[in-house]
Amino acid sequence: MLRFVLRRLLQMCVVVLVLSMLLFAWLRSLPGGPVSAILGERQTPERRAALEAALGLDEPLPVQYQKFLQRVLQGEFGVSTKVLPGTDALDVFLTRLPATIELAVLALLLAVVIGIPLGYFAARRAGSAVDTTTVIFSLIGVAVPVFFTAFLLKYFFAVEWNLLPVSGRQSTGIDATRVTGLFVLDGILTREWDAAWDALKHLILPALALATIPFAVIFRITRASVLDVLDEDYVRTAEAKGLSTGVIRSRHVLRNAMLPVLTTIGLQAGGLLAGAVLTETVFSYRGVGEALATSFREKDYAVLQVLILAAAVIYVVINLLVDIAYAVIDPRIRTR
Amino acid sequence: MSVKRTVATWTTAVLAAATLASCAESERDGGGEGGGSEDAGTFVFGAAGAPEMFDPFYATDGETFRVTRQMFEGLLGIEPGSAEVVPELATEWEPNEDGTEWTFTLRDDVTFHDGEPFNAEAVCYNFERMFDQNEAGQTAGEYWGYVMGAFANDAENSLYQGCEATDEFEAVITISGPTSGFPTMLTLESLSMQSPKALEEGDANGIAAEGEGFSFPAYADAPVGTGPFTFGEYDEANGEITLARNDDYWGDTAKVSELVFRVIPDESTRRQELEAGSINGYDLPNPVDWAGLEEDGNSVEVRDPFNILYLGLNPEANPQLKDLKVRQALYHALNREQLVQTQLPEGAAVATQFMPDTVSGYNTELEPYPYDPDEAKRLLQEAGAEGMELTFAYPTEVSRPYMPDPEKIFEALRTDLEAVGVKVDVKTASWNGGYLDNVTAGRYDAYILGWTGDYDSAYNFIGTFFGNLKENDFGTSAYPWGKQLADDLKAADAVVDEDERGAAFEEINGQIMEEYLPGLPISHSPPALVVGPGVEGVVPSPLTAEEFDTVTVGGE
């Protein structure tokens, strides 16, 4: 097990290194750049050259990359030019991360809590009207872009009906104490209940929007997987043995059907970042996704690099955790 | 067994949470009956972007200046609602005969937010601080470089030559030669007065180039000025900047006790937040929304236009453009009246020259080039350029005060050009994704671009466009008159007497439009800002330099 984990971590390092190289070259091959983002209309060739020289952008690409690596080894990831100017890109990421964690956790929680029981329920009544309706509903979840869902939710719940906040993470004037950067948790820890409630209210709409993709996928996989397992011999044997339905469902059906669902959850968690870019932009929610969109628009190289590399690391790590969880659930994988 | 493990896991989790909770204390002021209720004296403004940092000297963008403007003041100020220069921290200023030594008489009742006195020594400390920048500071100190030309290490090329405190409240600033920009440039937010003590303690000049950006010293996060508001805090996680009223302000103290800037990058979200009542105003509402916003009880505050939108032409990219007849033909082909009426907000005007009429040096005798497609065709034929090809470009992913929707403006212009037989090769790039680079590198024959004035100075407009012969977007060095124009502009800029200087610029404006026509001025567009119901006292500034100390926020 340990060797397995170590091997995967090593693989991850290689992936990140190669990716960083490609990313570095790709970003700098794009037209425009931080210099024109900073100078705007005041740009002249002369002023452009001076700023490029000051920022080290006039050196050959391999030299720039080498310097970048050297700085990274010293724990410096480059200074943000636009997202949070003057701040190290890694700190920008860390400042933004709690917001996205909060959002992703709630979204995934919603997707799991609704998706699995619904999937199980639909499978048990396969072919019924309820089943068909839920399947169609989940299809819509996959087909409609998150961006649009987010926009609709915001329009109705926040603008038309004024039930929930339009954007952001916390209302003005709340005066909340920050501990972990997870606003809801902070409110609970410091017993500032109004702050926690306010933060939660800001989370609901973006989380619902973001949850639509993982929900649809989890629902459908659960349904398909439960259907498969219900057909298995061991389920029939268990029924023949006279085990109670409760035991059959929890011990035999659900537990075995959960394996593919778990992988899916893991993959979805990694994929949530892509959805977060859109959701956070619609809700002006200051998370990693919004920072990614801003840094791309403003060509904030340092922040873009860190965010994309971090996303890659998170993706790989989540996959690794899923594989480990797999081994825990299914002992056969452990012994292999 | 698994049950035991589960119990153990949960116990650990609960214990961990309890431990965390015990060290997480609320930092609220005790006794308060729970926050959440809006202070009646708070003005919340929706900002399109986060400020770069809070030291205006190193700042370059409007979002930063909007925040720092509330905390800082310059020697000279701008009359609210106009572009006119008025006294601020200096009450009077007087040049010597040749316009190289300027004596500033200062207010004697001003203290910085940290209690330090404002006096001539503080003024000179500020100027020397701005002048004496390290390599990174010289690049980051954009505006100083722009208006003064150079820093201490290249002193002979600098406009600024020195500052002397001749009395407690009298400072003399020496410059290398007279220019229309001085002392008007002292209204620039970047050249504001900051507390010498705070500058020193916060190592204000300790800026460094690190990787591809600048890392700023501690001072940039804790600025100290003299203005009606003091710095409160910047909540990065929530994207909120809070400023507090300066109760010891030398002038009228601000009406609201707190000023909050909330970063909301998306324009439609800003509008929704205004409708939801969680912000009290925001900048640059889309002109399409103006009427709807007013109907909903908000007030759209339209500023006087202080900008120019032009169609730039580059003879180096397309030699056919070197012929004046071709340029005139293109100008006659444009139906600008219709463009202004259909694509630009109310209050926009057709341009007759490269600057708005609020700038001194504006030539009132110039008439707009008439829309005359037949004349355009005739001129093209005369020049042997019928059916000429033209690469014509516009930027995407951007909206500027002078062009709210570049694509629509472009389409209107393109249709006009094609109507007289010009074959347009459409080019486009995103604003930060190569458009500006392509323009400065001369890769387009024609393009749309514009300028918002920094302060009331003709040179800030036409000098920026044509004053630098070697490097300008119009490629004027390719014309026989390019050098003459650049020299004339510099000469006019150096005239000491204001009236004479204005006359000189007027004459040049006439020449530019009638003899040279290096580009085609299109229009002036009024940018607006919008405030919600109950908000009073916002004075729209043509320079988009609103000060919020006069703002009141009424009840619902």
**Enclosing H/E stretch for B392:** strand B389-396
Which residues of chain A neighbour B17 with C-beta distances below 8 Å? 189
**Is A81 among the domain residues?**
no
Which of B150, B184, B218 is the endpoint of a domain?
A: B218
Whether the per-residue pLDDT at B10 is higher than 70: the answer is: no
Residue B209 sits at the chain A interface (C-beta within 8 Å): yes
pLDDT in tens, A165-188: 999 999 888 888 888 889 999 899
A contact test, residue of B207, B432, B468 with most A CBs within 10 A? B432
B contact test, residue of A24, A41, A182, A198 with most B CBs within 10 A? A41
Q: Is the pTM of this model over 0.95?
A: no
Measure the CA–CA gap between B298 and B281, rounded to whole angstroms.
9
Q: Do A302 and B211 touch (CB under 8 A)?
A: yes
- Nearest-by-Cβ selection for A173 from B42, B264, B450: B42
Which residues of chain B neighbour A290 with C-beta distances below 8 Å? 265
Looking at the structure, tell me whether residues A41 and A129 fall in a common domain.
no
What's the pLDDT score for residue B188?
Answer: 94
pLDDT band at residue B329 under the 50/70/90 scheme: very high
Looking at the structure, tell me whether residues A116 and A62 fall in a common domain.
no
**Is A82 among the domain residues?**
no
**What percent of chain B is predicted at pLDDT more than 90?**
70
Residue B511 sits at the chain A interface (C-beta within 8 Å): no
Q: Do A158 and B437 touch (CB under 8 A)?
A: no
The CA radius of gyration of chain A, in Å to the nearest whole number, is: 24
The CB density around residue A238, as the number of other CB atoms within 10 Å, is 18
What's the pLDDT score for residue B413?
Answer: 96
Measure the CA–CA gap between B122 and B100, rounded to whole angstroms.
21
Cβ atoms of A119 and A221 within 8 Å: the answer is yes
Whether the per-residue pLDDT at B37 is higher than 60: the answer is: no
Angle at B433 between CA B431 and CA B436, to 5 degrees: 50
The whole-chain average pLDDT of chain A stands at 85
**Is B98 among the domain residues?**
yes
Average pLDDT estimate for B320-331: 96
Number of folded domains that form chain B: 2
User: Could you tell me which chain A residue has the CA closest to the CA of B436?
Assistant: A36
Cβ atoms of A206 and B269 within 8 Å: the answer is no
pLDDT band at residue B35 under the 50/70/90 scheme: very low
Measure the CA–CA gap between B530 and B535, rounded to whole angstroms.
10
Average pLDDT estimate for B235-251: 93
Six-digit token string for A155? 């329009």
Using omega within 30 degrees of 0 as the cis cutoff, is the peptide bond preceding B183 cis? yes
Residue B309 sits at the chain A interface (C-beta within 8 Å): no
Which of B170, B201, B218 is the endpoint of a domain?
A: B218
Which residues of chain B neighbour A279 with C-beta distances below 8 Å? none
What's the pLDDT score for residue B205?
Answer: 95
Measure the CA–CA gap between B468 and B236, rounded to whole angstroms.
40
**Is A106 among the domain residues?**
yes
User: Could you tell me which chain B residue has the CA closest to the CA of A193?
Assistant: B34
Whether the per-residue pLDDT at B441 is higher than 90: the answer is: no
Q: Do B139 and A171 touch (CB under 8 A)?
A: no
Q: Do A32 and B434 touch (CB under 8 A)?
A: yes
User: Could you tell me which chain A residue has the CA closest to the CA of B272?
Assistant: A159
The whole-chain average pLDDT of chain B stands at 90
Which residues of chain A neighbour B393 with C-beta distances below 8 Å? none
Average pLDDT estimate for B74-90: 93
Q: Do A194 and B35 touch (CB under 8 A)?
A: yes
**Enclosing H/E stretch for B120:** helix B120-131
The phi and psi torsions of B174 (rounded to 5 degrees) equal -105, 135
**Is B295 among the domain residues?**
no
Q: Mutual orientation of helices A255-282 and A288-297 as an angle, nearest 10°?
A: 50
**Of the candidate ranges B196-200, B275-279, B513-517, the one whose mean pLDDT is the lowest:** B275-279
User: Could you tell me which chain B residue has the CA closest to the CA of A84?
Assistant: B52
**What percent of chain B is predicted at pLDDT more than 70?**
93
The CB density around residue B340, as the number of other CB atoms within 10 Å, is 23
CATH number at residue B142: 3.90.76.10
Angle at B457 between CA B138 and CA B469, to 5 degrees: 65
User: Could you tell me which chain A residue has the CA closest to the CA of B37?
Assistant: A173
Pick from A238, A301, A295: nearest CA to A55: A301
Looking at the structure, tell me whether residues A14 and A135 fall in a common domain.
no
Looking at the structure, tell me whether residues A63 and A111 fall in a common domain.
no
Looking at the structure, tell me whether residues B348 and B477 fall in a common domain.
yes
What's the pLDDT score for residue B3?
Answer: 47
User: Could you tell me which chain B residue has the CA closest to the CA of A302?
Assistant: B212
What's the pLDDT score for residue B532?
Answer: 94
What's the pLDDT score for residue B231?
Answer: 96
pLDDT band at residue B1 under the 50/70/90 scheme: very low
User: Could you tell me which chain B residue has the CA closest to the CA of A198?
Assistant: B36
Number of helical (H) and strand (E) elements in chain B, helices listed first:
17, 23
Which residues of chain B neighbour A82 with C-beta distances below 8 Å? 52
**Is B134 among the domain residues?**
yes
Cβ atoms of B45 and B279 within 8 Å: the answer is yes
Please identify which residue in the block is written with the tokens 């153990």. Answer: B8
Which of A73, A99, A126 is the endpoint of a domain?
A: A73
What's the pLDDT score for residue B556?
Answer: 42
Look up residue B245 and give its DSSP letter: E
**Is A112 among the domain residues?**
yes
Residue B153 sits at the chain A interface (C-beta within 8 Å): no
**Of the candidate ranges A59-73, A253-267, B132-146, B532-546, the one whose mean pLDDT is the lowest:** A253-267
Quote the domain boundaries for residue A194.
89-335
Looking at the structure, tell me whether residues A220 and A105 fall in a common domain.
yes
Within 315-354 of B, beta carbons closer than 8 Å to A belong to none
Looking at the structure, tell me whether residues A193 and A330 fall in a common domain.
yes
Q: Do A177 and B27 touch (CB under 8 A)?
A: yes
Cβ atoms of B383 and B504 within 8 Å: the answer is no
Within 270-289 of B, beta carbons closer than 8 Å to A belong to 272-273, 275-276, 278-279
The CB density around residue A46, as the number of other CB atoms within 10 Å, is 12
Q: Do A159 and B272 touch (CB under 8 A)?
A: yes
Q: Do B139 and A50 touch (CB under 8 A)?
A: yes
Looking at the structure, tell me whether residues B324 and B209 fall in a common domain.
no
Sign of CA dihedral B79, B84, B86, B88: positive
Chains A, B: CB contacts under 8 A, how many?
A: 226
Residues, chain A, total? 336
Looking at the structure, tell me whether residues A103 and A175 fall in a common domain.
yes
Q: Do B212 and A57 touch (CB under 8 A)?
A: yes
State ipTM.
0.83
CATH number at residue A249: 1.10.3720.10
Measure the CA–CA gap between B256 and B551, rounded to whole angstroms.
7
The phi and psi torsions of B23 (rounded to 5 degrees) equal -95, 0
pLDDT band at residue A4 under the 50/70/90 scheme: confident
Q: Do B212 and A299 touch (CB under 8 A)?
A: no
Angstroms from A126 CA to nearest CA on chain B: 33
Residue B160 sits at the chain A interface (C-beta within 8 Å): no
Q: Do A177 and B449 touch (CB under 8 A)?
A: no
**Is B92 among the domain residues?**
yes
Q: Do A168 and B238 touch (CB under 8 A)?
A: yes
Looking at the structure, tell me whether residues A151 and A51 fall in a common domain.
no
3-state secondary structure B378-391: HHHHHCCCCCCEEE
pLDDT band at residue A32 under the 50/70/90 scheme: confident
User: Could you tell me which chain A residue has the CA closest to the CA of B143?
Assistant: A42
Residue B154 sits at the chain A interface (C-beta within 8 Å): no
For residues B368 and A323, the model is more confident at B368
Q: Do A44 and B260 touch (CB under 8 A)?
A: no
Looking at the structure, tell me whether residues A327 and A182 fall in a common domain.
yes
A contact test, residue of B212, B399, B464, B471 with most A CBs within 10 A? B212
Average pLDDT estimate for B322-346: 94
Which of A27, A43, A73 is the endpoint of a domain?
A: A73
Angle at B487 between CA B484 and CA B488, to 5 degrees: 85
Sign of CA dihedral B129, B131, B136, B141: positive
Looking at the structure, tell me whether residues A68 and A96 fall in a common domain.
no
**Is B112 among the domain residues?**
yes
**What percent of chain A is predicted at pLDDT more than 90?**
20
Number of folded domains that form chain A: 2
Quote the domain boundaries for residue B59.
12-30+52-218
Cβ atoms of B233 and A126 within 8 Å: the answer is no
Whether the per-residue pLDDT at B5 is higher than 70: the answer is: no
**Is A262 among the domain residues?**
yes
**Is A291 among the domain residues?**
yes
pLDDT band at residue B2 under the 50/70/90 scheme: very low
Average pLDDT estimate for B196-211: 91
What's the pLDDT score for residue A175?
Answer: 81
Looking at the structure, tell me whether residues A96 and A210 fall in a common domain.
yes
Looking at the structure, tell me whether residues A98 and A66 fall in a common domain.
no
Cβ atoms of A42 and B436 within 8 Å: the answer is no
Within 50-69 of B, beta carbons closer than 8 Å to A belong to 50, 52-53, 60-61
- Nearest-by-Cβ selection for A190 from B24, B42, B438: B24
Whether the per-residue pLDDT at A42 is higher than 80: the answer is: no
**Is A84 among the domain residues?**
no
User: Could you tell me which chain A residue has the CA closest to the CA of B235?
Assistant: A178
Reading phi first (left if > 0) and then psi (alpha if -120 to 50, else beta), residue B85 is in: beta
Residue B308 sits at the chain A interface (C-beta within 8 Å): no
pLDDT band at residue B33 under the 50/70/90 scheme: very low
What's the pLDDT score for residue B23?
Answer: 59
Which of A12, A41, A73 is the endpoint of a domain?
A: A73
pLDDT in tens, B217-232: 999 998 999 999 999 9
User: Could you tell me which chain B residue has the CA closest to the CA of A155?
Assistant: B272
Six-digit token string for B484? 């003459």
What's the pLDDT score for residue B326?
Answer: 96
- Nearest-by-Cβ selection for A166 from B42, B273, B434: B273
What's the pLDDT score for residue B369?
Answer: 93
Average pLDDT estimate for A311-320: 81
Angle at B184 between CA B182 and CA B189, to 5 degrees: 115
Looking at the structure, tell me whether residues B213 and B339 fall in a common domain.
no
Residue B472 sits at the chain A interface (C-beta within 8 Å): yes
**Is A239 among the domain residues?**
yes
Whether the per-residue pLDDT at B40 is higher than 60: the answer is: no
